[in-house]
Structure 1
């Protein structure tokens, strides 16, 4: 188990620039959709964290040719929709819920059998949200009670297109159903109560699939026409806004800081955190707006200063669900209260993120109230919280990184155990912070 300790910066600001690591969501999809195309898909800027590497191994086990050609550069030789081969061994997705759920959708569209496994954290996370709609499409699942890994999935000879009304807005559920529907003879539809990340729809369109998105009776409706021939693509993966959030918040809470984060993906369904931080008074400027791989991208210039507590509207939850832990850190240094509600999904992520953030913030001397569907943080108005504690991240990478950022602004260091999982999404985390002047290291 890895323990990292963040040393307080005192009055020393963060300075410099970094490039955001490749977007994890788009990296996963690049490998998967490349496997479903006919011919070579070339990817640059791929996030080479452990989660994405697990997806690369799984895609190769399903019959695609996967080759690393340089740093962040990969080529996937696809086998076409419906062309996946039955793997000879279990597909180990490590800590990746995205990898597991989306690959289940791919396998559910083919008449093959595959077993899905993962690490201890992933094996505690329920898969029932994707099992239920994929079962309607003809897939058969055998797994642990509560729909937990390991799970063996057998796809049907002829996958059935469905019209599925999802009880929650979830990009993973939507994507799994759409991926299974690619091999169905007909149109597959997913209806959501709110918009979720649309990377799957954007990328499927670029590969040549017929995908339609519309609003109907207050629902977001996405349809895909089955059995297309997907054309290989050249994909430049933009930087991950979820990873960029850590340096951005660190700069905001340390007065005098000025940090530039290059190549940040600014998809409106992913940029909710930056909107909330700006509403809190954060100085975040977007430079050189552009489009890469069908996604809006820009460079963020972030300057430290006073923040004020603000509400995080529940309607924004789907656009920033992974960023609530680091938002808590900004809230801890803000003036006043920041209320975060409608985020009960955080209780079934890599950990119960609501409980872990509440307990960790209290240990660091931050006042916080826990709700079943969220939390309310009472900020210090810029005064350093006490710190001087050890936080168990429960092998959750976002919890670990969030409390390390808090440690930079505390009176005493914060040590985080279970920090080895940072490598799943942000292998260069400590190196990037060192480049900005921070001291985060194993002690």
Structure 2
């Protein structure tokens, strides 16, 4: 999915950042809107779809399994679905590029259909373990042959009818939960998932919106029991995708750190299972205001107004990990400029993302002069108190879009420019990132 030629870039900020900007559509909602529209009977319309490489991999896979998916000149995507149970045998392997979400969720869809699909991916995705998804889908009857370590390439032979299961997630994971629920769509009876800690709930919201019979109960100890009745008939929908809070995190933190800045990011999804970063930044003293709060398609949305702030180091609450796991790299950059010490623990999941984000962030932050101690499950960072980092290094982003964007922001608050060795992976989630930052006043060379 990425071109063979790396695209290095150097980031700096000659002055304050200012302006109003939007960010691309929410990646999680974009993936799910394509998948569920492809399983509905009739035409669904999706506005604001994230047109990054990860989501386009999902679109290509759903086309390969029979759905008609077209982007109109009005930027609206129209999807004609095949119905639950109607997925067709793909003629070739499904290339997932760099997208772990596409892979895990589509494995769930295939698992309860009488088809066989081979999943391939790029070098980064092929290192990521899929065992957490393979286990429950195997219990439902799917026959999954994976490469050593439960990695891609792998083949899923679905079973129809599949076997409904009651499954308790050993580790909180929205992707594993969603894979099981999607498999349960075409499975007779009730499929249940218990998650020990609430994770992003876009799948539950959207499944209900499309007409699936789904219930969520809480046990009083924080665990959630999610039940879905299979053999569902999904109704086509009109979906408006809000801006991705994970993408908004980068201009928000940049404005907090660059002196004199004031930036507004419009139309950002603030689903409480996704937006904990903004709560944690406020705990650190960030001047963040949510304006024009509203609800769009069942998702809370607002405009985020952010002003330069003096941040204070904190111990990040472990209970927020599930709802901001993708935002820790950029939080680490904020911590490196804060007053005092920030301790972030409970982050084992970061070691099996697109890269080992704990190790890669620790290495990169040290290279630009931050004081960092690496833990097995997180980092301890002693901040500069708002003073610029020395900078001046070239960062190896390791094919990880969030690492690349995090160090791009770090470059804005470094005395010497910070060079990212390859910005091309950013196209997976935020194709216009460099242009957006330039529009706010950053310099990108």
Same fold per superposition (TM over 0.5):
yes
Distance (Å, rounded) in 1 between the aligned partners of 2:337 and 2:404: 18
Deviation at 1:376, TM superposition (A): 1.1
After superposition, give the CA deviation of every residue in 1:69-112 in whole Å (9 maximum; x if it has no partner).
13642111011111100000000010000000000000001010
Matched, 1:306 2:283: no
In structure 1, the residue matched to 2:265 is 261
> Out of 149, 152, 166, which is 1:149 matched to?
152
Distance (Å, rounded) in 1 between the aligned partners of 2:336 and 2:29: 31
Distance (Å, rounded) in 2 between the aligned partners of 1:257 and 1:113: 53
Matched, 1:111 2:92: no
After superposition, give the CA deviation of every residue in 1:311-368 in whole Å (9 maximum; x if it has no partner).
2111100000000000001101100111110010000000100000000000010001
> Out of 240, 243, 255, which is 1:239 matched to?
243
Q: 1:4 touches 1:440 (CA, 8 Å); kept in 2?
A: no
Q: 1:252 touches 1:303 (CA, 8 Å); kept in 2?
A: yes
Q: 1:42 touches 1:233 (CA, 8 Å); kept in 2?
A: yes
In structure 2, the residue matched to 1:432 is 436
Deviation at 1:9, TM superposition (A): 2.0
In structure 2, the residue matched to 1:30 is 33
Q: 1:312 touches 1:340 (CA, 8 Å); kept in 2?
A: yes
In structure 2, the residue matched to 1:86 is 89
Gap regions ≥5 residues in structure 1: none
Q: 2:346 touches 2:377 (CA, 8 Å); kept in 1?
A: yes
> How does 1:34-73 map onto structure 2 within 5 Å?
34-70=37-73, 72-73=75-76
Deviation at 1:22, TM superposition (A): 0.3
In structure 2, the residue matched to 1:409 is 413
| TM-score, normalised via structure 2 length | 0.98
Q: What secondary structure is seen at the aligned counterpart in 2 of 1:288?
A: strand
Distance (Å, rounded) in 2 between the aligned partners of 1:3 and 1:74: 30
Distance (Å, rounded) in 2 between the aligned partners of 1:36 and 1:389: 48
Q: What secondary structure is seen at the aligned counterpart in 1 of 2:393?
A: strand
After superposition, give the CA deviation of every residue in 1:31-60 in whole Å (9 maximum; x if it has no partner).
000011111110000000011111100000
Deviation at 1:217, TM superposition (A): 6.3
> How does 1:126-165 map onto structure 2 within 5 Å?
126-165=129-168
In structure 1, the residue matched to 2:181 is 178
In structure 1, the residue matched to 2:284 is 280
Distance (Å, rounded) in 1 between the aligned partners of 2:366 and 2:30: 35
Distance (Å, rounded) in 1 between the aligned partners of 2:193 and 2:75: 33
> Out of 343, 350, 353, which is 1:349 matched to?
353
Aligned length: 440
Distance (Å, rounded) in 2 between the aligned partners of 1:71 and 1:342: 44
After superposition, give the CA deviation of every residue in 1:201-244 in whole Å (9 maximum; x if it has no partner).
00000000111111126321111011110000000000000000
Q: What secondary structure is seen at the aligned counterpart in 1 of 2:56?
A: helix
In structure 1, the residue matched to 2:344 is 340
Distance (Å, rounded) in 2 between the aligned partners of 1:7 and 1:428: 15
Moved over 4 A (4+): none
After superposition, give the CA deviation of every residue in 1:399-442 in whole Å (9 maximum; x if it has no partner).
0000010001000011111321000000000010011010123x
Q: 1:391 touches 1:416 (CA, 8 Å); kept in 2?
A: yes
Deviation at 1:157, TM superposition (A): 2.6
Distance (Å, rounded) in 1 between the aligned partners of 2:64 and 2:108: 16
Deviation at 1:6, TM superposition (A): 3.4
Gap regions ≥5 residues in structure 2: none
**What is the alpha-carbon root mean square deviation over aligned residues?**
1.0
